[in-house]
Amino acid sequence: MGAGHTHPLYVHEHSPVHHLPAHVKLVATFTFTVVVATAPREHVVTFVVAALTLLAAIRVARVRLRFLLPRLAVVTPFLIGALLLPFVASGPRVDVLGIPLAEEGLWGGFGIAVRAVLGATASLLLVATTEVPDLLRGLERLRAPRLLTQIAAFMVRYLEVIVGEVSRQRRAMTARGYDPRWLWQLRPLTAGLGVLFVRSYERGERVHAAMRARGFDGTMPVLTEERPAGVRAWRLALVLPALAGLGRIAGLLVHG
């Protein structure tokens, strides 16, 4: 996978966040997520400070909210569960717009929703400002198992290849009049998926044989030089979790 390979979530910009080394951003995102995830749900101040800090980081990164908001749909199951929790939880109830809701369920739903949204937004900001090869090299810099990073690299690259084949296969079937409307009309589709699986497996064998023939020894060549992470880079990246940590302290002081 070449250094110029990007993914659909990457935003091409030249912001200070984009230029930070990947492993620095990984540490900052992980620390911020831990601070948010471990904060007591009643400490609203902590979540407000974390949200404002994250919005400031998004602005510095020049990533538009209209780019991030549709992609936050991945947390929809968590939000649905958070909305249902006040109705099904037990314990004391309070009236909200004339509807009796469980107090414990309200706090539980709030905790689930705010943690899911903040964690997912921080992760989206990370991938929006970091290309796939940089992310993988950043994981290696953080001593992640090299085998796992290589598997992830090939998975990302060939997932796009497989998706492209599925699209071409679908167009070919549509051109031949295949338009399934009933369950029993799905047999050609299942047969096509079987062919796709066999082709993908055979491609994997051919790619592995070609790599071995070219002297692959278990490590991928680095096509771009590593950017050193200086003190300034660490300071800039750790502003996000540091402010979230200050919000955590403020929450402890306010709520006791």
- Interstrand relation of 93-96 and 99-102 (parallel, antiparallel or unpaired): antiparallel
pLDDT at 154: 80
- For residue 2, being part of any structural domain is answered with no
Same domain, 132 and 87: yes
- For residue 10, being part of any structural domain is answered with no
Q: pLDDT below 70 — which residues of the chain? A: 1-7, 180-185, 218, 220-228, 256
Same domain, 150 and 199: yes
Helix axes 132-141, 146-175, angle to 10 degrees: 160
User: pLDDT (tens digit, 9 = 90+) per residue, 32-51?
Assistant: 999 999 999 889 999 999 99
User: pLDDT (tens digit, 9 = 90+) per residue, 13-34?
Assistant: 889 999 999 999 999 999 999 9
User: pLDDT (tens digit, 9 = 90+) per residue, 186-216?
Assistant: 777 777 788 888 888 888 889 888 888 888 7
Q: Does this model's pTM top 0.75?
A: yes
Same domain, 126 and 164: no
pLDDT at 40: 92
Cα 165 to Cα 196: distance, rounded to the nearest angstrom: 8
Distant-in-sequence, close-in-space partners of 29: CB < 8 Å, separation ≥ 6? 122, 123, 125, 126, 240
pLDDT at 3: 43
Residue pointed to by tokens 């990007």: 6
Q: Domain limits at 240?
A: 22-138+227-255
- For residue 50, being part of any structural domain is answered with yes
Same domain, 99 and 80: yes
Number of independent structural domains in the chain: 2
Same domain, 166 and 197: yes
Same domain, 75 and 124: yes
Neighbour tally for 229: CB within 10 Å: 18
- For residue 8, being part of any structural domain is answered with no
Cα 166 to Cα 138: distance, rounded to the nearest angstrom: 31
pLDDT at 224: 58
